[in-house]
Amino acid sequence: MARPRFIFSRQTAPFVCLLFVLGSLIGASPLAAQSRLHRPPPRYLQLSPPDQEQGAEILRSMRAAGPDGGYYLEFELRVLPRRGEEWRVPGRLWGARNREGPVTRMALGAREGAVGGPAEKRVLVQGGPRPAAWQWPAPDGAAVIAVDEAALFNPLAGTDLSAFDLQMPFLYWPDFVYEGRTRLNDRPAETFLLYPPAAVAERRPDLAAMRVYLDIQYHALLRAEQLGENERVLKSMRVVELKKIDEHWIVRSVELRDEATRNRTRFVVTAAALNREFSGTLFEPGMLTSPVAAPAGLTRLGP
C-alpha cells in the first residue's frame, strides 16, 4: 500500500508543517543571552542522549519534503472559550513553496454577527530560514505592512490563531536538541526542543523554547508547545484529524489552546483543492490588497 503524503508536512498552515537546525550565543544581545541561561534543559527519552546527528538528519529530510504543487483550503476557525458560547470566523488559504520555503496566504472573513469593519483581513507568511510576514489592512491605515517579531504573536480576528502559528518559524530555528523517540496518541514520534533566536527572545522573553513532536511514518507535525519558565506550557497546537483526498492526506482539523485562559480555537477544513498551479504574484506582499477568487473543482468535506 502506498504511503500517504501530507500536503502540510512542512509547512503551514494552518498548522502542520515542520522543521529546523543549529546555533550559538555569539552576537546575542544581553537580554537574549540572559533568557537563554534559563532555557529548559532537554528531557532525553532514552537512557543515554540520542544521536544529535541523527536528529539533524531527521529535520533535514523532513524540511526537504513538501506538497505536490499548490493547494487551496476553505475553513472555519471555531472559537471555543472556556466560558461563553462558541463563535466562528470563515477563512480561505492558499499554500505553495517558493525558493525561500513554504508560503501561505490567508483571508479571514468577519466574525459571526459582527457589524462594520473590512470584509476581509489578509495575511501573508513566508516560512523557511528567513521568515517574514505581512498583513492587510494595517491598523494604522497603511495598505500593507510587514509584521515584526512582536506582532507575529498577536491574535488574528480575535481567535487563538496568530501569524506565528501559520509561519511556524521555530521549525527552522538553528539551536535545537533532539530528545529522542516517544509515543504520542499511540503513534511513534520524534521529539525536538528548539530555542528561540535573539530577535524572538528580545520580543518574547517569556518564551523559553518550543517542543515539537513529529510523526515518524508520515513526516507530519503532531504537536507543538510554547514553553515558558520551568517548562510551563504557554500555548499548544495539535493535530486533531486527518482526511484523505484522492491519494493525498491533509490536515482536516488542528486545535490551538491558550493554557492561561484555557480558551481553544479549532481550525477545521471544509473544502480543498490540491495540486494547483498559482501565479507567483499571488504570494507577493503588494498583492494582498487585491481579492482572489477560489479555484474551480473544490472537494467539499463532510461535517
Per-residue pLDDT at 64:
72
Can you give the chain as a three-state secondary structure string? CCCCEECCCCCCCCCCCCCCCCCCCCCCCHHHHHHHHCCCCCCCCCCCCCCHHHHHHHHHHHHHCCCCCEEEEEEEEEEECCCCCCEEEEEEEEEEEECCEEEEEEEECCCCCCCCCCCCEEEEEECCCCCEEEEECCCCCCCCEECCCCHHHCECCCCCCEHHHHHCHHHHCCEEEEEEEEEECCEEEEEEEEECCHHHHHHCCCCCEEEEEEECCCCCEEEEEEECHHHCEEEEEEEEEEEEECCEEEEEEEEEEECCCCCEEEEEEEEEEEEECCCHHHHCHHHHHCCCCCCCCCEECCC
In tens, the pLDDT along 103-158 reads: 999 999 988 655 555 678 999 999 989 999 999 998 776 789 999 988 999 999 99
Per-residue pLDDT at 303:
67
Calpha distance 87→260 (Å, rounded): 20
Of 108, 115, 117, residue with least CA distance to 88: 108
Residue-range domains of the chain with CATH: 5-290 (2.50.20.10)
CA dihedral of 207, 19, 240, 13, whole degrees rounded to 10: 90
Per-residue pLDDT at 118:
61
pLDDT mean across residues, the chain: 84
* pLDDT averaged per 10 residues in sequence order, the chain, 303 residues: 42 35 29 54 87 90 77 97 94 94 94 64 94 89 86 94 94 94 91 94 94 85 94 96 87 95 96 94 95 94 78
Of 88, 70, 81, 166, residue with least CA distance to 122: 166
In tens, the pLDDT along 74-84 reads: 999 999 999 99
**C-alpha separations of 228 from 15, 39, 142, 163, 206 in Å:** 21, 8, 34, 19, 6
